[in-house]
Amino acid sequence: MVHLDFLTFNAFQEHCHIVWDESKSCAVVDPGNCSDAEFVELISIIKRQGLKPSCIMLTHGHFDHVLGVASLAGHFGNLPVYMHPDDKKTLENNIHFCRNFNVPLPEPFETTDIKEGDVIHVGGLTFEVIETPGHTPGGVCYLERQEKVLFSGDTLFAGAIGRTDHPGGDYDRIMESIFTKLLHLEGDIKVIPGHGPTTDIATERMTNPFLMPFNEPYEE
């Protein structure tokens, strides 16, 4: 059985998720903590639940999703940090974002490359890597098919899609990613985005205004 908890970090209200099963092995998805207080809050949840982090899973490399990676990975003995290699350029571009938004630059960290179809084991949980470029060149989602949980990062939101006006963004690619990779998943799969409320695939298929071609009525 899957267990979830999350914290909302930094000025951009980014959701950092902690996911685990009965084994107490856990993954931390997109740790965006950017202050000592936020770091303490994250560690306290991990300790309170008696969890043992096994890895960090990044949906993409934007600064608001990676601000706490170095501190968290180091605290637990250099945890592997999974990220698609196409987002290494996104990490480099964070210097421009951080200057513009007056936020600290993420500390450097090592990443382990992932690609479409890779599987990440967290205790008894199995996360499939789904490449969903568009918001960033190396954006991915993580699907636990049996537990019907999808970490969608900034690709798909409740009633919205990820913005594509930042460097490396591509509207056509994000639409292709969503239509070909996500909307054909089972409708009851829970979608857990990097910002905002959770949703499910069926709801987004039927009601997401940014996906209107999918919502067009049948011709009579």
Give me the residue label for tokens 């698609």: 84
Q: Is residue 191 part of a domain?
A: yes
Give me the residue label for tokens 């250099």: 78
Q: Is residue 218 part of a domain?
A: no
Let me know: does 8 contact 14? Beta carbons within 8 Å.
Answer: yes
State the pLDDT at residue 213. 64
Q: Is residue 18 part of a domain?
A: yes
Give me the residue label for tokens 């996104």: 90
Q: What is the pLDDT along the chain (220 residues), one digit of tens a residue?
A: 999 999 999 999 999 999 999 999 999 999 999 999 999 999 999 999 999 999 999 999 999 999 999 999 999 998 999 999 999 999 999 998 899 888 889 999 999 999 999 999 999 999 999 999 999 999 999 999 999 999 999 999 999 999 999 999 999 999 999 999 999 999 999 999 999 999 999 999 999 999 976 555 555 5
Distance separating alpha carbons of residues 199 and 158, to the nearest angstrom:
5
Domain around 137: 3-211
Let me know: does 123 contact 23? Beta carbons within 8 Å.
Answer: yes
Q: Is residue 154 part of a domain?
A: yes
Q: Characterize 48-73 residue by residue with b for buried, 16 or more Cβ atoms within 10 angstroms of its Cβ, and e for exposed.
A: eeebebbbbbbbbbbbbbbbbbbbbb
CA distances from 208 to 9, 18, 64, 158, 185 (A): 26, 26, 24, 7, 15
Q: Is residue 147 part of a domain?
A: yes
Q: Is residue 171 part of a domain?
A: yes
Q: What are 214-220's contacts with CB under 8 Å, separation 24+?
A: 214/179, 214/183
How many residues appear in the chain?
A: 220
DSSP string, 84-113: -GGGHHHHHHHHHHHHHHT-PPPPP---EE
What's the number of domains the chain is made of?
Answer: 1
* Mean pLDDT rounded to a whole number for the chain: 95
pTM more than 0.85:
yes
The CATH number of whichever domain residue 120 belongs to comes to 3.60.15.10
Q: Is residue 111 part of a domain?
A: yes
For residue range 47-60, what is the model confidence (pLDDT) as tens digits?
Answer: 999 999 999 999 99
State the pLDDT at residue 103. 86
Distance separating alpha carbons of residues 120 and 118, to the nearest angstrom:
7
Q: Is residue 219 part of a domain?
A: no
State the pLDDT at residue 201. 97
Contacts of 211 (CB under 8 A, 6+ apart): 161, 178, 179, 183, 204, 205
